[in-house]
Structure 1
């Protein structure tokens, strides 16, 4: 599934999340390393030494990602 947001695209597979930013930067994380801060509309990847976070545009995007990844 591909979700477009203001800074690029989020590509979701059963095992991986890819964020393709408009500035040609790509972020990758395994699904088990993804967490969410619902109030802040943040998707956070934390794989130990590698961390990144992404501010989503709206609640609908957050819910679509959670549903696709099976994260409640």
Structure 2
């Protein structure tokens, strides 16, 4: 599934999430399902915490976060 948001595109599979940011520098963020935390309640943030890296990104709205949660089988926190 591909979700468009104001900063680029989110590609979601049951096992992986890829975020491609719309910029001239081709920035891509990637994480496996078990490294993700989806923070709702108005925050609308995806946070990735892996062994060697950590990143987070704010989405436009909770509907986008809910689609990701449904596709990946994760719960919103």
Give the TM-score of the pair, scaled to structure 1: 0.94
Residue 15 of structure 1, CA deviation = 1.3
Alignment coverage as a number of residue pairs:
72
With a CA cutoff of 8 Å and minimum separation of 6, indicate the structure with the bigger relative contact order.
Answer: 2
Q: How far did residue 59 of structure 1 move? A: 1.0
Q: How far has the Cα of 1:49 moved from its partner?
A: 2.0
Deviation at 1:36, TM superposition (A): 1.4
Q: TM-score, structure 2 length as denominator?
A: 0.88
Secondary structure class of the residue paired with 1:48: coil
How do 1:7-26 residues align onto structure 2 when only pairs under 5 Å count?
7-23=7-23, 24-26=26-28
Unaligned 5+ runs, structure 1: none
Report the counterpart of residue 36 of structure 1 in structure 2: 38
Once the two structures are superposed, what CA deviation does each residue of 1:20-43 show, in whole Å capped at 9, x if it has no partner? 000110011001100011121101
Counterpart in the other structure of 1:56: 59
Q: Which ranges in structure 2 are unaligned for 5 or more consecutive residues?
A: none
Question: What RMSD over aligned residues (CA atoms) do the two structures have, in Å?
Answer: 0.8
Give the equivalent residue in structure 1 for 2:68. Answer: 65
Query: For 1:47, which of 47, 50, 66 is the aligned residue?
Result: 50
